[in-house]
Amino acid sequence: MGGIDQAFVQEPEQRPKPSTIEVDGIPVIDMSVSGTGGIEKLASEIGNACRKWGFFQVINHGVPLELRQRVEKVAKAFFDLPIEEKRKAKRDDLNFTGYHDEEHTKNVRDWKEVFDMLIEDPTFLPASPDPDDEEIRTYSNKWPENPPEFRETCQEYCREVEKLAFKLLELISLSLALGVGRHRDGGALTVLAQDDVGGLQIRRQSDGEWIPIKPIPNAYIINIADALQVWSNDLYVSAEHRVVVNSEQERFSIPLFFFPSHYVKVEPLEELVNEQNPAKYKEYSWGKYYINRTGSNYKKLEAENLQIDHFKTPESK
Protein backbone atom coordinates (compact mmCIF):
# COMPACT_ATOMS: atom_id res chain seq x y z
CA MET A 1 0.00 0.00 0.00
CA GLY A 2 1.32 3.47 -0.93
CA GLY A 3 2.05 6.22 1.52
CA ILE A 4 2.73 9.94 1.61
CA ASP A 5 6.25 11.15 0.87
CA GLN A 6 7.67 12.34 4.22
CA ALA A 7 8.84 15.55 2.51
CA PHE A 8 5.21 16.70 2.55
CA VAL A 9 4.50 15.84 6.19
CA GLN A 10 4.11 18.73 8.64
CA GLU A 11 5.40 18.62 12.21
CA PRO A 12 2.67 17.47 14.68
CA GLU A 13 2.17 20.96 16.12
CA GLN A 14 1.52 22.35 12.61
CA ARG A 15 -1.13 19.81 11.60
CA PRO A 16 -4.85 20.66 11.56
CA LYS A 17 -6.74 19.60 14.67
CA PRO A 18 -10.39 18.59 14.93
CA SER A 19 -10.90 21.60 17.19
CA THR A 20 -10.43 24.13 14.37
CA ILE A 21 -13.07 26.76 15.12
CA GLU A 22 -16.01 27.28 12.74
CA VAL A 23 -17.00 30.96 12.88
CA ASP A 24 -18.29 33.58 10.49
CA GLY A 25 -14.67 34.29 9.61
CA ILE A 26 -12.69 37.40 8.79
CA PRO A 27 -14.30 40.80 8.04
CA VAL A 28 -15.94 41.30 4.63
CA ILE A 29 -15.56 44.89 3.42
CA ASP A 30 -17.61 46.48 0.64
CA MET A 31 -15.31 48.69 -1.44
CA SER A 32 -18.14 50.67 -3.03
CA VAL A 33 -18.24 54.14 -1.50
CA SER A 34 -21.20 56.49 -1.31
CA GLY A 35 -22.25 59.50 0.74
CA THR A 36 -20.37 61.97 2.89
CA GLY A 37 -17.50 60.41 4.81
CA GLY A 38 -17.57 57.21 2.77
CA ILE A 39 -13.81 57.06 2.22
CA GLU A 40 -13.07 57.71 5.90
CA LYS A 41 -15.55 55.01 6.95
CA LEU A 42 -14.01 52.54 4.50
CA ALA A 43 -10.50 53.33 5.73
CA SER A 44 -11.65 52.84 9.33
CA GLU A 45 -13.14 49.43 8.53
CA ILE A 46 -9.92 48.34 6.83
CA GLY A 47 -7.83 49.65 9.72
CA ASN A 48 -9.90 47.70 12.25
CA ALA A 49 -9.52 44.53 10.17
CA CYS A 50 -5.74 45.02 9.86
CA ARG A 51 -5.42 45.59 13.60
CA LYS A 52 -7.61 42.70 14.78
CA TRP A 53 -7.10 40.09 12.07
CA GLY A 54 -4.41 41.00 9.56
CA PHE A 55 -6.83 39.55 6.98
CA PHE A 56 -10.07 40.66 5.34
CA GLN A 57 -12.13 40.05 2.23
CA VAL A 58 -13.26 42.74 -0.22
CA ILE A 59 -16.30 42.81 -2.48
CA ASN A 60 -17.33 45.39 -5.14
CA HIS A 61 -13.62 45.90 -5.66
CA GLY A 62 -13.61 46.91 -9.33
CA VAL A 63 -11.75 43.94 -10.86
CA PRO A 64 -13.94 42.70 -13.74
CA LEU A 65 -15.48 39.28 -13.08
CA GLU A 66 -15.10 38.35 -16.76
CA LEU A 67 -11.33 38.93 -16.55
CA ARG A 68 -11.02 36.84 -13.40
CA GLN A 69 -12.93 34.01 -15.09
CA ARG A 70 -10.64 34.20 -18.13
CA VAL A 71 -7.45 34.04 -16.09
CA GLU A 72 -8.79 31.10 -14.07
CA LYS A 73 -9.69 29.29 -17.29
CA VAL A 74 -6.31 29.83 -18.95
CA ALA A 75 -4.39 28.96 -15.77
CA LYS A 76 -6.30 25.72 -15.32
CA ALA A 77 -5.63 24.89 -18.96
CA PHE A 78 -1.90 25.33 -18.31
CA PHE A 79 -1.86 23.14 -15.19
CA ASP A 80 -3.81 20.44 -17.05
CA LEU A 81 -0.99 20.11 -19.59
CA PRO A 82 1.36 17.10 -19.43
CA ILE A 83 4.19 17.60 -16.95
CA GLU A 84 6.76 17.59 -19.76
CA GLU A 85 5.00 20.53 -21.42
CA LYS A 86 4.76 22.52 -18.18
CA ARG A 87 8.43 21.99 -17.42
CA LYS A 88 9.41 23.74 -20.64
CA ALA A 89 8.78 26.92 -18.64
CA LYS A 90 10.38 25.59 -15.42
CA ARG A 91 12.18 27.86 -12.98
CA ASP A 92 15.92 27.33 -12.48
CA ASP A 93 18.66 28.43 -10.11
CA LEU A 94 19.14 31.73 -11.96
CA ASN A 95 15.47 32.66 -12.46
CA PHE A 96 12.68 31.99 -9.96
CA THR A 97 9.86 32.75 -12.41
CA GLY A 98 7.93 30.08 -14.29
CA TYR A 99 6.61 26.66 -13.34
CA HIS A 100 7.68 24.64 -10.31
CA ASP A 101 6.29 21.97 -7.99
CA GLU A 102 8.99 21.75 -5.30
CA GLU A 103 8.28 24.78 -3.09
CA HIS A 104 8.88 24.70 0.69
CA THR A 105 7.19 26.58 3.52
CA LYS A 106 9.08 26.66 6.81
CA ASN A 107 11.28 23.79 5.62
CA VAL A 108 8.44 21.42 4.67
CA ARG A 109 7.75 20.70 1.02
CA ASP A 110 4.40 22.05 -0.20
CA TRP A 111 1.92 19.79 -1.96
CA LYS A 112 1.19 22.09 -4.89
CA GLU A 113 2.09 23.26 -8.37
CA VAL A 114 2.93 26.92 -8.98
CA PHE A 115 3.51 29.32 -11.85
CA ASP A 116 5.29 32.53 -10.76
CA MET A 117 5.40 35.68 -12.87
CA LEU A 118 6.50 39.28 -12.35
CA ILE A 119 4.31 42.32 -12.96
CA GLU A 120 7.38 44.46 -13.61
CA ASP A 121 9.30 42.75 -16.40
CA PRO A 122 12.23 42.96 -16.08
CA THR A 123 12.55 43.19 -12.30
CA PHE A 124 15.80 44.00 -10.50
CA LEU A 125 16.82 42.24 -7.28
CA PRO A 126 20.01 41.59 -5.30
CA ALA A 127 22.03 38.64 -6.56
CA SER A 128 22.36 37.23 -3.03
CA PRO A 129 21.24 37.89 0.56
CA ASP A 130 24.85 38.69 1.52
CA PRO A 131 24.79 42.28 2.89
CA ASP A 132 28.23 42.97 1.34
CA ASP A 133 27.26 41.75 -2.13
CA GLU A 134 26.23 44.81 -4.16
CA GLU A 135 25.47 42.94 -7.40
CA ILE A 136 21.97 43.50 -8.80
CA ARG A 137 20.51 40.78 -11.02
CA THR A 138 17.87 41.16 -13.73
CA TYR A 139 14.90 38.78 -13.73
CA SER A 140 12.46 38.30 -16.61
CA ASN A 141 9.35 36.18 -16.95
CA LYS A 142 9.42 32.71 -18.43
CA TRP A 143 6.30 32.16 -20.52
CA PRO A 144 4.89 28.83 -21.69
CA GLU A 145 4.03 28.30 -25.36
CA ASN A 146 0.63 26.90 -24.41
CA PRO A 147 -2.06 27.95 -23.91
CA PRO A 148 -1.37 30.67 -26.55
CA GLU A 149 -3.39 33.30 -24.67
CA PHE A 150 -1.73 32.57 -21.31
CA ARG A 151 0.74 35.49 -21.31
CA GLU A 152 -1.63 38.22 -22.48
CA THR A 153 -4.44 37.16 -20.13
CA CYS A 154 -2.16 36.96 -17.08
CA GLN A 155 -0.62 40.37 -17.79
CA GLU A 156 -4.03 42.01 -18.22
CA TYR A 157 -5.29 40.44 -14.99
CA CYS A 158 -2.24 41.53 -12.99
CA ARG A 159 -2.61 45.13 -14.14
CA GLU A 160 -6.19 45.22 -12.85
CA VAL A 161 -5.40 43.58 -9.51
CA GLU A 162 -2.41 45.92 -9.08
CA LYS A 163 -4.85 48.86 -9.31
CA LEU A 164 -6.86 47.31 -6.47
CA ALA A 165 -3.68 46.83 -4.42
CA PHE A 166 -2.74 50.51 -4.78
CA LYS A 167 -6.27 51.53 -3.82
CA LEU A 168 -6.05 49.37 -0.70
CA LEU A 169 -2.66 50.80 0.18
CA GLU A 170 -4.06 54.34 0.00
CA LEU A 171 -6.88 53.34 2.36
CA ILE A 172 -4.43 51.67 4.76
CA SER A 173 -2.33 54.84 4.75
CA LEU A 174 -5.45 56.85 5.63
CA SER A 175 -6.30 54.40 8.41
CA LEU A 176 -2.86 55.02 9.92
CA ALA A 177 -3.39 58.79 9.65
CA LEU A 178 -0.53 59.04 7.13
CA GLY A 179 -2.57 60.78 4.44
CA VAL A 180 -3.22 59.79 0.85
CA GLY A 181 -0.14 58.95 -1.19
CA ARG A 182 2.23 58.59 1.78
CA HIS A 183 3.64 55.33 0.42
CA ARG A 184 3.02 54.62 -3.25
CA ASP A 185 5.67 51.92 -3.43
CA GLY A 186 4.54 48.32 -3.17
CA GLY A 187 3.07 47.96 0.28
CA ALA A 188 3.58 44.31 1.12
CA LEU A 189 0.02 43.09 0.68
CA THR A 190 -1.27 39.84 -0.75
CA VAL A 191 -4.40 40.02 -2.92
CA LEU A 192 -5.75 36.49 -3.27
CA ALA A 193 -8.42 35.04 -5.53
CA GLN A 194 -9.45 31.56 -4.44
CA ASP A 195 -12.01 29.08 -5.75
CA ASP A 196 -14.96 27.66 -3.81
CA VAL A 197 -12.99 24.69 -2.43
CA GLY A 198 -11.54 26.74 0.42
CA GLY A 199 -8.90 25.37 2.79
CA LEU A 200 -7.20 28.63 3.76
CA GLN A 201 -7.03 29.14 7.53
CA ILE A 202 -5.60 31.93 9.69
CA ARG A 203 -4.49 31.88 13.31
CA ARG A 204 -6.67 34.22 15.36
CA GLN A 205 -4.63 36.62 17.49
CA SER A 206 -6.93 36.61 20.48
CA ASP A 207 -6.71 32.89 21.27
CA GLY A 208 -4.41 31.22 18.74
CA GLU A 209 -7.22 29.15 17.21
CA TRP A 210 -7.21 28.34 13.50
CA ILE A 211 -10.11 30.01 11.68
CA PRO A 212 -11.20 28.84 8.19
CA ILE A 213 -11.78 31.57 5.61
CA LYS A 214 -15.06 30.85 3.86
CA PRO A 215 -14.93 31.51 0.12
CA ILE A 216 -17.17 34.32 -1.16
CA PRO A 217 -17.84 34.35 -4.93
CA ASN A 218 -15.76 37.00 -6.75
CA ALA A 219 -14.30 38.38 -3.49
CA TYR A 220 -10.60 38.92 -2.87
CA ILE A 221 -8.81 37.94 0.32
CA ILE A 222 -6.34 40.57 1.51
CA ASN A 223 -3.61 39.86 4.01
CA ILE A 224 -1.08 42.15 5.60
CA ALA A 225 2.46 41.00 4.91
CA ASP A 226 5.66 41.45 6.89
CA ALA A 227 6.83 44.83 5.59
CA LEU A 228 3.52 46.50 6.45
CA GLN A 229 3.64 45.05 9.97
CA VAL A 230 7.09 46.60 10.41
CA TRP A 231 6.10 49.95 8.83
CA SER A 232 3.11 50.14 11.19
CA ASN A 233 5.36 49.26 14.17
CA ASP A 234 3.08 46.31 15.02
CA LEU A 235 -0.15 48.31 14.90
CA TYR A 236 -1.14 46.00 12.05
CA VAL A 237 -0.29 42.32 11.98
CA SER A 238 0.94 39.80 9.45
CA ALA A 239 -1.16 36.87 10.59
CA GLU A 240 0.06 33.29 10.45
CA HIS A 241 -1.89 31.27 7.89
CA ARG A 242 -1.92 27.87 6.21
CA VAL A 243 -3.78 25.82 3.63
CA VAL A 244 -5.34 22.49 4.57
CA VAL A 245 -5.30 19.79 1.89
CA ASN A 246 -8.67 18.62 0.58
CA SER A 247 -8.60 14.87 -0.12
CA GLU A 248 -11.49 15.03 -2.60
CA GLN A 249 -11.02 18.25 -4.59
CA GLU A 250 -8.02 20.17 -5.85
CA ARG A 251 -7.75 23.79 -4.73
CA PHE A 252 -7.00 26.60 -7.16
CA SER A 253 -5.89 30.11 -6.19
CA ILE A 254 -4.27 33.17 -7.79
CA PRO A 255 -2.31 35.38 -5.36
CA LEU A 256 -0.73 38.72 -6.23
CA PHE A 257 2.14 39.59 -3.90
CA PHE A 258 2.50 43.37 -3.74
CA PHE A 259 6.05 44.02 -2.56
CA PRO A 260 8.40 47.01 -2.17
CA SER A 261 11.24 47.66 -4.59
CA HIS A 262 14.54 45.96 -3.85
CA TYR A 263 16.28 49.15 -2.69
CA VAL A 264 13.66 50.01 -0.04
CA LYS A 265 14.84 50.05 3.57
CA VAL A 266 12.06 48.74 5.81
CA GLU A 267 11.68 50.17 9.32
CA PRO A 268 8.85 51.61 11.45
CA LEU A 269 7.52 54.85 9.96
CA GLU A 270 8.65 57.93 11.88
CA GLU A 271 5.03 59.14 12.14
CA LEU A 272 4.18 56.02 14.16
CA VAL A 273 7.15 56.15 16.53
CA ASN A 274 7.51 58.32 19.64
CA GLU A 275 8.87 58.21 23.18
CA GLN A 276 5.88 56.24 24.45
CA ASN A 277 5.90 53.92 21.42
CA PRO A 278 9.53 53.38 20.33
CA ALA A 279 10.52 51.52 17.18
CA LYS A 280 10.11 47.78 17.61
CA TYR A 281 12.27 46.84 14.59
CA LYS A 282 15.70 47.66 13.24
CA GLU A 283 16.03 48.75 9.63
CA TYR A 284 16.55 46.02 7.03
CA SER A 285 16.91 45.81 3.27
CA TRP A 286 13.76 44.54 1.58
CA GLY A 287 15.67 43.13 -1.41
CA LYS A 288 18.09 41.13 0.73
CA TYR A 289 15.24 39.86 2.90
CA TYR A 290 13.23 38.81 -0.16
CA ILE A 291 16.12 36.96 -1.79
CA ASN A 292 16.79 35.09 1.47
CA ARG A 293 13.13 34.07 1.71
CA THR A 294 12.87 33.18 -1.98
CA GLY A 295 15.90 30.91 -1.80
CA SER A 296 14.45 29.04 1.18
CA ASN A 297 11.19 28.43 -0.71
CA TYR A 298 12.84 25.94 -3.05
CA LYS A 299 15.05 23.84 -0.79
CA LYS A 300 15.17 22.54 2.75
CA LEU A 301 17.53 24.47 5.01
CA GLU A 302 19.37 23.56 8.18
CA ALA A 303 17.31 26.15 10.06
CA GLU A 304 13.99 27.93 9.57
CA ASN A 305 14.13 30.75 7.05
CA LEU A 306 14.49 34.43 7.90
CA GLN A 307 11.54 36.08 9.69
CA ILE A 308 10.86 39.71 10.65
CA ASP A 309 11.33 38.73 14.30
CA HIS A 310 15.05 38.57 13.50
CA PHE A 311 14.94 42.38 13.22
CA LYS A 312 13.15 43.04 16.52
CA THR A 313 14.90 45.53 18.76
CA PRO A 314 16.22 44.08 22.04
CA GLU A 315 13.65 46.09 24.02
CA SER A 316 10.69 44.66 22.08
CA LYS A 317 11.62 40.97 22.23
Residue type present at position 295 = G
Tell me the three state secondary structure of residue 311.
helix
Give the integer Cα–Cα distance in Å for 231 and 233. 5
Question: How many beta carbons lie within 10 A of that of residue 294, not counting itself?
Answer: 14
pLDDT at residue 202, as a whole number: 92
Pairwise CA distance, residues 286 & 288, whole Å = 6
* Confidence check: pLDDT of 1 > 50: no
CA distance 171 to 183: 11
Domain ranges of the chain: 6-316
If pLDDT is split at 50, 70 and 90, which confidence band does 105 have? Answer: low
Check residue 110 and give its pLDDT.
62
Is residue 122 reached through a cis peptide bond, with omega within 30 degrees of 0 on the bond before it? yes
pLDDT of residue 66: 98
Q: Hey, which CATH number is domain 6-316, 3.40.50.300, 2.40.50.140, 2.40.30.10, 2.60.120.330?
A: 2.60.120.330
pLDDT digits (tens, 9 = 90+) for 285-315: 999 999 888 765 555 545 556 789 999 999 8
DSSP 185-219: S---EEEEEE-TT--EEEE-TTT--EEE----TT-
Give pLDDT tens digits for 10-39: 454 544 454 444 456 799 999 998 777 899
Per-residue pLDDT at 37: 85
Q: How far apart are the C-alpha atoms of 243 and 105, rounded to whole Å?
A: 11
